[in-house]
Amino acid sequence: MDEFRNQSTQMLMIVSQDDLECVVQKAIGKLLEQRENKPETYLTAEETAKRLKVDRSTLWRWNKEGYLVSTKVGSKVRYKLSDVERIQKGEVYER
């Protein structure tokens, strides 16, 4: 299987439903395990704005639009590092 990954050709594979479900379940299990083992890190508005190279007013607007939703930690506004990294990678934000 590894030899096919290194080639840039297209390939069609026939897989049983049981095998496909097994692969998907393993992938989901690995993702959940990674997520559980990694505690969430929060950034201040200033740190977030700096990482995303935007103004703090942009963060406020994004929060209102639901693009990058802030979290209150006590009375302070914080942003999840994982959400910021998703935006940096160009992925669509979904809450």
Contact call for residues 43 and 84 (beta carbons, < 8 A) = yes
Whether 5 is in a domain gets the answer no
Could you tell me the end-to-end alpha-carbon distance of the chain, in angstroms, rounded to an integer? Answer: 35
Whether 17 is in a domain gets the answer no
Residue 57 burial (10 A CB sphere; 0-12, 13-18, 19+): exposed
Whether 73 is in a domain gets the answer yes
Residue 54: which domain range? 42-88
CATH number at residue 67: 1.10.1660.10
Whether 79 is in a domain gets the answer yes
Q: Each residue's pLDDT tens digit in the chain (95 positions)?
A: 566 566 667 888 899 999 999 999 999 988 888 777 778 899 999 999 999 999 999 999 999 999 999 999 899 999 999 999 999 988 765 55
Whether 53 is in a domain gets the answer yes
Total of domains in the chain:
1
pTM listed for this prediction: 0.58
Contact call for residues 46 and 71 (beta carbons, < 8 A) = no
Whether 30 is in a domain gets the answer no
Whether 65 is in a domain gets the answer yes
